[in-house]
Amino acid sequence: MAEPSGAPEIYLDHAASTPLRPAARDAWLAAAQRHHANPTGSHLAAREARRALDEARGRAACALGADPGEIVFTSGGSEADNMAVRGALGLRGSGTVAVTTAAEHHAVHDPVERSGGVFVAVDERGIVDLEALADVLDARNGDVAVVSVIAVNNETGSITPLPEVARVVRDLAPGALLHTDAVQAVNWIDVATETAGYDLVSVTGHKVGSPVGTGVLVARDGVELDPLIVGGGQERGRRAGTPDVAGAASFAAALVETAEQRDGSVERLRVLRDALIDGLTDRLGDRVLVSSARANGDRGHIAAGIANVCITGVQSEALLFLMDAAGVRASAASSCSSGAQDPSHVLAAMGVPREVALGSLRLSLGHTTVASDVERAVEVISASVERLDRFEGG
Protein backbone atom coordinates (compact mmCIF):
# COMPACT_ATOMS: atom_id res chain seq x y z
CA MET A 1 0.00 0.00 0.00
CA ALA A 2 2.99 2.33 0.18
CA GLU A 3 2.74 5.42 -1.97
CA PRO A 4 5.14 5.84 -4.89
CA SER A 5 8.13 7.97 -4.01
CA GLY A 6 7.26 11.67 -4.18
CA ALA A 7 3.50 11.17 -3.82
CA PRO A 8 1.79 14.16 -2.19
CA GLU A 9 1.12 14.09 1.53
CA ILE A 10 -2.49 14.07 2.74
CA TYR A 11 -2.35 16.07 5.95
CA LEU A 12 -5.30 15.50 8.27
CA ASP A 13 -3.74 16.54 11.57
CA HIS A 14 -4.51 20.27 11.60
CA ALA A 15 -5.88 20.05 15.15
CA ALA A 16 -2.37 19.13 16.28
CA SER A 17 -0.62 21.83 14.25
CA THR A 18 -1.57 23.51 11.00
CA PRO A 19 0.81 24.56 8.20
CA LEU A 20 2.28 28.04 8.25
CA ARG A 21 0.13 30.71 6.60
CA PRO A 22 1.99 32.83 4.02
CA ALA A 23 0.86 36.01 5.81
CA ALA A 24 2.32 34.72 9.07
CA ARG A 25 5.58 33.71 7.38
CA ASP A 26 5.93 37.14 5.75
CA ALA A 27 5.19 38.93 9.02
CA TRP A 28 7.78 36.83 10.87
CA LEU A 29 10.48 37.39 8.26
CA ALA A 30 9.87 41.12 8.08
CA ALA A 31 10.00 41.52 11.87
CA ALA A 32 12.97 39.21 12.32
CA GLN A 33 15.01 41.03 9.69
CA ARG A 34 14.17 44.50 10.95
CA HIS A 35 13.85 44.19 14.72
CA HIS A 36 16.96 42.68 16.26
CA ALA A 37 16.92 44.86 19.37
CA ASN A 38 15.39 44.03 22.74
CA PRO A 39 12.04 45.86 22.85
CA THR A 40 12.49 46.63 26.55
CA GLY A 41 15.48 48.87 25.84
CA SER A 42 15.52 52.66 25.49
CA HIS A 43 17.53 53.35 22.30
CA LEU A 44 16.01 53.91 18.87
CA ALA A 45 16.23 50.29 17.66
CA ALA A 46 14.63 49.07 20.88
CA ARG A 47 11.84 51.63 20.60
CA GLU A 48 11.14 50.53 17.03
CA ALA A 49 10.95 46.91 18.17
CA ARG A 50 8.59 47.96 20.95
CA ARG A 51 6.32 49.71 18.45
CA ALA A 52 6.18 46.53 16.36
CA LEU A 53 5.36 44.52 19.46
CA ASP A 54 2.64 46.98 20.44
CA GLU A 55 1.17 46.83 16.95
CA ALA A 56 1.02 43.02 17.13
CA ARG A 57 -0.55 43.26 20.59
CA GLY A 58 -3.22 45.60 19.28
CA ARG A 59 -4.05 43.39 16.30
CA ALA A 60 -4.30 40.31 18.50
CA ALA A 61 -6.48 42.18 20.99
CA CYS A 62 -8.89 43.29 18.26
CA ALA A 63 -9.24 39.73 16.94
CA LEU A 64 -9.89 38.35 20.44
CA GLY A 65 -12.24 41.05 21.69
CA ALA A 66 -9.77 42.37 24.26
CA ASP A 67 -7.94 45.57 25.09
CA PRO A 68 -4.23 45.65 24.16
CA GLY A 69 -3.26 45.79 27.84
CA GLU A 70 -5.11 42.51 28.42
CA ILE A 71 -2.87 40.58 26.00
CA VAL A 72 -0.08 38.54 27.58
CA PHE A 73 2.21 36.95 25.00
CA THR A 74 3.27 33.40 25.91
CA SER A 75 5.13 30.49 24.35
CA GLY A 76 1.84 28.78 23.46
CA GLY A 77 -1.38 27.31 24.76
CA SER A 78 0.08 25.05 27.42
CA GLU A 79 1.87 27.92 29.12
CA ALA A 80 -1.24 30.10 28.85
CA ASP A 81 -3.41 27.37 30.40
CA ASN A 82 -0.94 26.79 33.22
CA MET A 83 -0.67 30.53 33.80
CA ALA A 84 -4.44 30.76 34.14
CA VAL A 85 -4.96 27.83 36.49
CA ARG A 86 -1.81 27.97 38.58
CA GLY A 87 -1.74 31.76 38.53
CA ALA A 88 -5.29 31.94 39.86
CA LEU A 89 -4.60 29.43 42.60
CA GLY A 90 -1.44 31.27 43.62
CA LEU A 91 -3.11 34.60 44.38
CA ARG A 92 -6.79 34.05 45.05
CA GLY A 93 -7.61 34.81 48.67
CA SER A 94 -11.29 33.94 48.37
CA GLY A 95 -10.91 30.41 47.01
CA THR A 96 -8.45 27.54 47.01
CA VAL A 97 -10.01 25.07 44.57
CA ALA A 98 -9.78 24.76 40.78
CA VAL A 99 -12.74 23.27 38.93
CA THR A 100 -12.66 21.89 35.40
CA THR A 101 -14.26 19.19 33.26
CA ALA A 102 -13.30 15.57 32.86
CA ALA A 103 -12.59 16.17 29.14
CA GLU A 104 -10.02 18.96 29.29
CA HIS A 105 -6.67 19.17 27.53
CA HIS A 106 -3.86 17.99 29.79
CA ALA A 107 -2.52 21.55 30.04
CA VAL A 108 -5.57 22.30 32.20
CA HIS A 109 -6.34 18.80 33.47
CA ASP A 110 -2.91 18.19 35.00
CA PRO A 111 -2.47 21.41 37.02
CA VAL A 112 -6.02 21.03 38.32
CA GLU A 113 -5.32 17.42 39.29
CA ARG A 114 -2.01 18.31 40.96
CA SER A 115 -3.71 21.00 43.01
CA GLY A 116 -6.37 18.59 44.27
CA GLY A 117 -9.07 20.22 42.18
CA VAL A 118 -12.52 19.02 41.15
CA PHE A 119 -13.56 17.46 37.84
CA VAL A 120 -17.08 17.86 36.48
CA ALA A 121 -18.75 15.25 34.28
CA VAL A 122 -19.42 15.72 30.58
CA ASP A 123 -22.28 14.28 28.56
CA GLU A 124 -21.98 11.77 25.74
CA ARG A 125 -21.14 14.60 23.33
CA GLY A 126 -18.16 15.58 25.47
CA ILE A 127 -19.80 18.85 26.59
CA VAL A 128 -19.84 19.89 30.24
CA ASP A 129 -22.94 18.86 32.18
CA LEU A 130 -24.26 22.22 33.39
CA GLU A 131 -26.31 20.68 36.20
CA ALA A 132 -23.26 18.80 37.46
CA LEU A 133 -21.24 22.01 37.27
CA ALA A 134 -23.89 23.85 39.26
CA ASP A 135 -23.93 21.12 41.90
CA VAL A 136 -20.15 21.28 42.31
CA LEU A 137 -20.05 25.06 42.58
CA ASP A 138 -22.95 25.12 45.03
CA ALA A 139 -21.33 22.44 47.19
CA ARG A 140 -17.97 24.25 47.36
CA ASN A 141 -19.65 27.22 49.09
CA GLY A 142 -17.46 30.00 47.70
CA ASP A 143 -14.18 28.06 47.90
CA VAL A 144 -13.56 28.10 44.11
CA ALA A 145 -10.63 30.13 42.82
CA VAL A 146 -10.93 29.32 39.11
CA VAL A 147 -13.30 27.47 36.79
CA SER A 148 -11.82 26.32 33.47
CA VAL A 149 -13.95 24.90 30.64
CA ILE A 150 -12.57 24.15 27.18
CA ALA A 151 -14.17 26.09 24.31
CA VAL A 152 -13.73 23.46 21.57
CA ASN A 153 -12.49 20.05 22.57
CA ASN A 154 -9.15 19.30 20.96
CA GLU A 155 -9.95 15.61 20.44
CA THR A 156 -13.63 15.49 19.53
CA GLY A 157 -14.33 19.01 18.29
CA SER A 158 -17.29 19.38 20.66
CA ILE A 159 -18.23 23.05 21.08
CA THR A 160 -19.03 24.26 24.60
CA PRO A 161 -21.91 26.73 25.06
CA LEU A 162 -19.60 29.24 26.72
CA PRO A 163 -22.21 31.90 27.59
CA GLU A 164 -24.31 29.27 29.40
CA VAL A 165 -21.28 28.14 31.40
CA ALA A 166 -20.54 31.75 32.31
CA ARG A 167 -24.08 32.28 33.63
CA VAL A 168 -23.79 29.25 35.91
CA VAL A 169 -20.39 30.28 37.25
CA ARG A 170 -21.32 33.92 37.80
CA ASP A 171 -24.47 32.89 39.64
CA LEU A 172 -22.97 30.24 41.92
CA ALA A 173 -19.28 31.18 42.19
CA PRO A 174 -19.13 34.96 41.65
CA GLY A 175 -15.73 35.21 43.29
CA ALA A 176 -14.08 32.68 40.97
CA LEU A 177 -12.06 33.53 37.89
CA LEU A 178 -13.51 32.04 34.71
CA HIS A 179 -11.09 30.62 32.14
CA THR A 180 -11.48 28.90 28.80
CA ASP A 181 -8.89 27.04 26.78
CA ALA A 182 -9.75 28.45 23.33
CA VAL A 183 -6.68 26.96 21.67
CA GLN A 184 -8.76 24.81 19.33
CA ALA A 185 -11.57 27.32 18.98
CA VAL A 186 -10.29 30.26 16.94
CA ASN A 187 -10.71 28.47 13.62
CA TRP A 188 -14.34 27.53 14.31
CA ILE A 189 -16.14 30.05 16.52
CA ASP A 190 -16.12 33.79 17.12
CA VAL A 191 -13.94 33.75 20.20
CA ALA A 192 -14.23 37.50 20.69
CA THR A 193 -18.00 37.23 21.15
CA GLU A 194 -18.24 33.86 22.88
CA THR A 195 -15.63 34.65 25.55
CA ALA A 196 -16.79 38.18 26.30
CA GLY A 197 -17.75 37.19 29.86
CA TYR A 198 -14.51 35.34 30.61
CA ASP A 199 -11.65 36.56 32.78
CA LEU A 200 -8.98 34.45 31.10
CA VAL A 201 -8.71 33.07 27.55
CA SER A 202 -5.89 30.90 26.17
CA VAL A 203 -4.95 30.87 22.47
CA THR A 204 -1.95 29.50 20.59
CA GLY A 205 -0.40 30.34 17.24
CA HIS A 206 0.39 27.03 15.62
CA LYS A 207 -3.29 26.04 15.48
CA VAL A 208 -4.04 29.05 13.27
CA GLY A 209 -0.96 29.07 11.05
CA SER A 210 1.87 30.88 12.84
CA PRO A 211 5.03 29.19 14.10
CA VAL A 212 5.14 26.92 17.13
CA GLY A 213 6.18 28.89 20.20
CA THR A 214 3.67 31.73 20.00
CA GLY A 215 0.53 32.22 22.04
CA VAL A 216 -1.54 34.52 24.20
CA LEU A 217 -3.36 34.58 27.49
CA VAL A 218 -6.09 37.20 27.58
CA ALA A 219 -6.18 38.44 31.19
CA ARG A 220 -8.96 40.97 31.64
CA ASP A 221 -8.27 44.30 33.25
CA GLY A 222 -8.11 43.93 37.01
CA VAL A 223 -7.40 40.19 37.02
CA GLU A 224 -4.34 39.34 39.10
CA LEU A 225 -2.31 36.18 38.62
CA ASP A 226 0.73 34.72 40.30
CA PRO A 227 3.26 34.70 37.42
CA LEU A 228 4.83 31.42 36.35
CA ILE A 229 8.01 33.10 35.08
CA VAL A 230 9.61 35.83 37.19
CA GLY A 231 12.75 37.88 36.81
CA GLY A 232 11.63 40.92 34.87
CA GLY A 233 8.80 43.36 34.42
CA GLN A 234 7.82 42.35 30.91
CA GLU A 235 4.14 41.89 29.99
CA ARG A 236 3.19 44.22 32.86
CA GLY A 237 4.92 41.94 35.32
CA ARG A 238 2.85 38.93 34.30
CA ARG A 239 5.55 37.06 32.35
CA ALA A 240 9.27 37.74 32.57
CA GLY A 241 11.56 37.34 29.58
CA THR A 242 12.57 39.19 26.44
CA PRO A 243 9.51 39.43 24.17
CA ASP A 244 9.58 37.61 20.83
CA VAL A 245 8.73 40.45 18.44
CA ALA A 246 8.79 38.34 15.29
CA GLY A 247 6.70 35.63 16.90
CA ALA A 248 4.14 38.17 18.09
CA ALA A 249 3.91 39.76 14.64
CA SER A 250 3.46 36.37 13.00
CA PHE A 251 0.87 35.28 15.55
CA ALA A 252 -1.15 38.46 15.06
CA ALA A 253 -1.08 38.10 11.26
CA ALA A 254 -2.29 34.50 11.43
CA LEU A 255 -4.94 35.31 14.00
CA VAL A 256 -6.37 38.21 12.00
CA GLU A 257 -6.44 36.24 8.75
CA THR A 258 -8.10 33.28 10.48
CA ALA A 259 -10.80 35.52 11.92
CA GLU A 260 -11.40 37.24 8.58
CA GLN A 261 -11.75 33.93 6.74
CA ARG A 262 -13.58 31.99 9.45
CA ASP A 263 -17.10 32.01 8.06
CA GLY A 264 -16.06 30.83 4.62
CA SER A 265 -13.66 28.25 6.03
CA VAL A 266 -16.27 26.80 8.37
CA GLU A 267 -18.75 26.42 5.52
CA ARG A 268 -16.17 24.85 3.18
CA LEU A 269 -14.61 22.51 5.72
CA ARG A 270 -17.92 21.31 7.15
CA VAL A 271 -18.79 19.99 3.70
CA LEU A 272 -15.43 18.22 3.42
CA ARG A 273 -15.61 16.89 6.99
CA ASP A 274 -19.06 15.42 6.35
CA ALA A 275 -17.87 13.93 3.07
CA LEU A 276 -15.02 12.26 4.95
CA ILE A 277 -17.29 10.76 7.60
CA ASP A 278 -19.96 9.74 5.10
CA GLY A 279 -17.38 8.25 2.78
CA LEU A 280 -15.96 6.09 5.57
CA THR A 281 -19.47 5.05 6.62
CA ASP A 282 -20.32 4.07 3.03
CA ARG A 283 -17.22 1.90 2.87
CA LEU A 284 -17.15 0.48 6.40
CA GLY A 285 -20.79 0.61 7.49
CA ASP A 286 -21.81 0.74 11.12
CA ARG A 287 -18.25 0.01 12.21
CA VAL A 288 -17.74 3.79 12.06
CA LEU A 289 -18.84 5.69 15.16
CA VAL A 290 -18.59 9.48 15.30
CA SER A 291 -17.48 9.76 18.91
CA SER A 292 -19.31 12.93 19.92
CA ALA A 293 -22.47 12.37 17.84
CA ARG A 294 -23.49 8.98 19.16
CA ALA A 295 -27.04 9.77 20.28
CA ASN A 296 -28.71 10.69 17.00
CA GLY A 297 -25.94 11.40 14.53
CA ASP A 298 -26.27 15.19 14.87
CA ARG A 299 -23.00 16.99 14.13
CA GLY A 300 -24.21 20.54 14.73
CA HIS A 301 -22.24 20.86 17.97
CA ILE A 302 -18.97 19.63 16.42
CA ALA A 303 -16.34 21.99 15.00
CA ALA A 304 -16.46 21.97 11.21
CA GLY A 305 -12.96 20.62 10.63
CA ILE A 306 -12.74 17.84 13.21
CA ALA A 307 -13.90 14.25 12.79
CA ASN A 308 -13.20 11.97 15.72
CA VAL A 309 -14.28 8.51 14.64
CA CYS A 310 -13.92 5.12 16.26
CA ILE A 311 -13.65 2.14 13.95
CA THR A 312 -14.59 -1.07 15.71
CA GLY A 313 -12.52 -4.19 15.26
CA VAL A 314 -9.18 -2.41 14.72
CA GLN A 315 -6.67 -0.62 16.91
CA SER A 316 -5.72 2.88 15.95
CA GLU A 317 -1.99 2.31 16.43
CA ALA A 318 -1.88 -0.30 13.67
CA LEU A 319 -4.30 1.65 11.49
CA LEU A 320 -2.28 4.86 11.76
CA PHE A 321 0.88 2.95 10.81
CA LEU A 322 -0.67 1.78 7.55
CA MET A 323 -2.18 5.19 6.84
CA ASP A 324 1.15 6.90 7.40
CA ALA A 325 2.87 4.48 5.04
CA ALA A 326 0.31 5.48 2.41
CA GLY A 327 0.90 9.19 2.93
CA VAL A 328 -2.11 10.06 5.13
CA ARG A 329 -1.12 11.91 8.31
CA ALA A 330 -3.55 11.77 11.22
CA SER A 331 -3.59 11.02 14.94
CA ALA A 332 -5.45 8.99 17.51
CA ALA A 333 -7.33 10.29 20.52
CA SER A 334 -5.15 8.10 22.71
CA SER A 335 -1.65 7.86 24.08
CA CYS A 336 0.84 5.07 24.57
CA SER A 337 1.84 4.23 28.11
CA SER A 338 4.35 1.56 28.99
CA GLY A 339 4.01 0.07 25.54
CA ALA A 340 0.26 -0.48 25.87
CA GLN A 341 -2.29 1.72 24.19
CA ASP A 342 -4.79 3.33 26.54
CA PRO A 343 -7.92 5.08 25.31
CA SER A 344 -8.22 8.81 25.65
CA HIS A 345 -9.45 10.19 28.97
CA VAL A 346 -11.82 12.36 26.93
CA LEU A 347 -13.52 9.40 25.27
CA ALA A 348 -13.64 7.60 28.61
CA ALA A 349 -15.35 10.61 30.18
CA MET A 350 -17.91 10.53 27.36
CA GLY A 351 -18.72 6.91 28.10
CA VAL A 352 -17.24 5.44 24.93
CA PRO A 353 -16.52 1.76 25.68
CA ARG A 354 -12.84 0.97 25.94
CA GLU A 355 -12.89 -1.63 23.17
CA VAL A 356 -14.44 0.95 20.84
CA ALA A 357 -12.15 3.80 21.89
CA LEU A 358 -9.10 1.69 21.04
CA GLY A 359 -10.01 2.20 17.37
CA SER A 360 -10.25 5.99 17.54
CA LEU A 361 -8.95 8.36 14.89
CA ARG A 362 -8.87 12.15 14.96
CA LEU A 363 -9.06 13.37 11.38
CA SER A 364 -8.76 17.15 11.34
CA LEU A 365 -8.97 19.50 8.37
CA GLY A 366 -7.66 23.02 7.89
CA HIS A 367 -6.86 25.87 5.56
CA THR A 368 -4.82 23.72 3.15
CA THR A 369 -7.34 20.84 2.90
CA VAL A 370 -9.01 20.21 -0.48
CA ALA A 371 -11.61 17.74 -1.72
CA SER A 372 -9.04 15.40 -3.26
CA ASP A 373 -7.41 15.01 0.17
CA VAL A 374 -10.68 13.73 1.58
CA GLU A 375 -11.27 11.37 -1.33
CA ARG A 376 -7.79 9.91 -1.01
CA ALA A 377 -8.10 9.60 2.76
CA VAL A 378 -11.34 7.62 2.47
CA GLU A 379 -9.65 5.21 0.09
CA VAL A 380 -6.54 4.78 2.22
CA ILE A 381 -8.35 4.39 5.54
CA SER A 382 -10.86 1.92 4.14
CA ALA A 383 -8.15 -0.14 2.44
CA SER A 384 -6.06 -0.08 5.63
CA VAL A 385 -8.98 -1.37 7.71
CA GLU A 386 -9.62 -4.12 5.17
CA ARG A 387 -5.95 -5.08 5.27
CA LEU A 388 -6.03 -5.30 9.06
CA ASP A 389 -9.18 -7.43 8.85
CA ARG A 390 -7.43 -9.87 6.52
CA PHE A 391 -4.45 -10.01 8.85
CA GLU A 392 -6.66 -10.70 11.87
CA GLY A 393 -8.55 -13.33 9.91
CA GLY A 394 -5.36 -15.18 9.21
Give me the active site residues, please: 336
Which class for 224: exposed (0-12), middle (13-18), buried (19 or more C-beta within 10 A)?
middle
Select from 352, 357, 350, 353 the least CA-distant residue to 121.
Answer: 350
Give the span between the Cα atoms of 147 and 243, in whole angstroms.
Answer: 29
Q: Is 338 left (phi over 0), alpha (psi -120 to 50) or beta?
A: left
Per-residue DSSP letter, 4: P
At 302 the three-state DSSP class reads strand
Select from 357, 339, 187, 365 the least CA-distant residue to 271.
Answer: 365
At 101 the three-state DSSP class reads strand
Which class for 341: exposed (0-12), middle (13-18), buried (19 or more C-beta within 10 A)?
middle
Give the span between the Cα atoms of 226 and 88, in whole angstroms.
Answer: 7
Angle at 193 between CA 101 and CA 173, to 5 degrees: 40
Select from 241, 220, 218, 221 the least CA-distant residue to 230.
Answer: 241
